[in-house]
Amino acid sequence: MTRIHISARDRIVEAAATVWAADPSATLDVVAQRAGVGRATLHRHFPSRAALIRTAALEGIAALAAALDAATLGQRKPAEALDALINILVPFGDRLHFLLVTGELIDDPDLAAAEAAVNASIRQLLDAAAAAGVLRNDLPAAWRFRALEALLYAAWTAVAAGEIARLDAPELVRDPFRRGFGTTPASPAAR
């Protein structure tokens, strides 16, 4: 069995996302400890808290964009693509939940552009599902998107708080979304 080596930099970025999702006010010392590095190592890679937050955010969104691209959702049937979308988005709570509870990057244009690109691909998939009759098209497209976003937030926070099991979270998002916005109930196979 080969062992994968994760660089100190990557461990710091991963630790930052995890730590700040649970406690947005956590110090860099807490992040360094979680990453298994010293404060000097952390500062060698990231000169400030803001630099680390920005890097964690941009890399998390880039990883999500890559996962969405790799899934080739546009080449799938709309119902299958919708389920796959949720299966991709829910686990990204580990990497992106902290963005919802930290305010440091509100005006960052690079982050806004990266988020807009991911959101556009999600909206496009939701619109395609509505056009295909998988989702109701009598509701505003923005409402579909915001409802999915709210269910994802609920899943991410519940998993982080230990209130629901990580493996149950995708279905706990998919079922109410498909029941509320779908034209037919969620299929038994998706349950």
Over residues 30-54, the pLDDT tens digits come to 999 999 999 999 999 999 998 999 9
**Superfamily of 50-190 according to CATH:** Tetracycline Repressor, domain 2 (1.10.357.10)
Q: Is pLDDT at 191 greater than 50 in this prediction?
A: no
Nearest by Cα to 65 from 140, 138, 7, 115: 115
Tokens describing residue 54: 């920005």
CA distances (Å), origin 147, targets 11, 83, 175, 177, 185: 33, 15, 13, 8, 17
CA distance 9 to 57: 14
Cβ(187)–Cβ(134) below 8 Å:
no
Work out the angle at residue 130's Cα, subtended by the Cα atoms of residues 183 and 191, and round it to the nearest 5 degrees: 50
Tokens describing residue 86: 């949720």
Residue 4 Rama label (left phi>0; alpha psi -120 to 50; beta): beta
CA distance 56 to 99: 9
pTM, two decimal places: 0.83
> Which residues have CB under 8 Å from 41's CB, separation 6+?
8, 12, 32
Q: Is pLDDT at 178 greater than 50 in this prediction?
A: yes
DSSP per-residue string spanning 9-55? HHHHHHHHHHHHHH-TT--HHHHHHHHT--HHHHHHH-SSHHHHHHH
Over residues 80-94, the pLDDT tens digits come to 999 999 999 998 887
**Helices in 23-140 by DSSP H: which ranges?**
28-35, 39-45, 49-70, 78-89, 93-96, 109-131
Over residues 5-24, the pLDDT tens digits come to 789 999 999 999 888 877 88
User: Tell me, what's the pLDDT at 157?
Assistant: 86
Q: What average pLDDT does the segment 111-125 reach?
A: 93
CA distance 121 to 126: 9
98: pLDDT confidence band, cut at 50, 70 and 90? confident
Domain boundaries, the chain: 50-190
